[in-house]
Amino acid sequence: MMRGGWGMRSVGRFGAGLAGSVLAAVAGVSGCQKPDVVRTGAEGSGIAIRYEAPTDTDRDDAAFLRRRKVVEEAASAISALVEVDRRVSVGVVSCGGEGSSYDPELTHVEVCYDEVSETRELFRRAGPGRADDDVAAVMLETLYHEMAHALVDVLELRVRGREEDVADQFAALMLLREGASGEQRLLAAADAWHLSEVANEDADDGPDEHSSDGRRAVNHRCYVYGAASGRHRGLVGADALPAERAKGCAKEWNAVRTWWTTALAPHLRAG
């Protein structure tokens, strides 16, 4: 089960689980373990990150996420751009394969440790040579996607069309703002979506509010190409980005960037 969706919860590349576990995770804070919290705003606003103790099997993935500071990077990039005047919490947790998600009732993003090794495994099966940077890039794209749901919710952005696509587009926006390095990161995420599609060709996960993984891969490549066609002519081809689609990518990317820029305009930090 790689893809999925469950009610209002929105999940990423690795499937869906039960909303109740979010409540359990939050309730767990009051236990004997001191919560490990990083805040980007004052009390009651901004993004608060909490790492929960990983299960034994997630230990290496947890160490990787902490070392690479992927969650901190997403939170600080968003906080530098947008005034988030409500509290959004991000829990980095062991979630037993259920998939990263956003819970609007709790304004809580949950990021799963095991997506690190699942991503690594996707790349490993495709062949050697993928670096930790690519794994971190995929996790960052996931973070931005889930944070986009949080922003749509707490900033009350009006989304026309499918919010899942709009969330993917926010991930593209945040990465492509970085320029060439962000383009490589978004392409790594596109590759992971593609590999996920290939790995699950025969799986039937039932109805899903997301675009197919293969479509998500092509969308990201289209945005990269639309933003910087000169650097990415090699993307255009039957497999990665069909030529017919590529023709419209500059326009598509421009529309995506304009939508997000306009939606966030009242919430942008001064300067």
**Is 15 or 54 the residue whose CB approaches Zn ion more closely?**
15
Minimum distance between the CB of residue 7 and Zn ion, rounded to whole angstroms? 12
Cα(95)–Cα(114) distance, integer angstroms: 7
**Is 10 or 40 the residue whose CB approaches Zn ion more closely?**
10
What does the binding site for Zn ion look like in residue numbers (CB under 5 A)?
Answer: 10, 164, 167
Burial of residue 195 (CB within 10 Å: 0-12, 13-18, 19+) is: buried
Minimum distance between the CB of residue 244 and Zn ion, rounded to whole angstroms? 27
Cα 18 to Cα 26, 101, 149: the distances in Å are 14, 10, 18
**35 close to 24: Cβ distance less than 8 angstroms:** no
Minimum distance between the CB of residue 232 and Zn ion, rounded to whole angstroms? 25
How many CA atoms are closer than 13 Å to the CA of 80, on its beta-carbon side? 8
Tokens of 213: 């993984």
What does the chain come to in residues? 271
**Is 6 or 198 the residue whose CB approaches Zn ion more closely?**
6
Minimum distance between the CB of residue 246 and Zn ion, rounded to whole angstroms? 26
**Is 58 or 164 the residue whose CB approaches Zn ion more closely?**
164
Residue nearest to Zn ion (CB): 10
**Is 103 or 183 the residue whose CB approaches Zn ion more closely?**
103
Minimum distance between the CB of residue 105 and Zn ion, rounded to whole angstroms? 16
Minimum distance between the CB of residue 234 and Zn ion, rounded to whole angstroms? 29
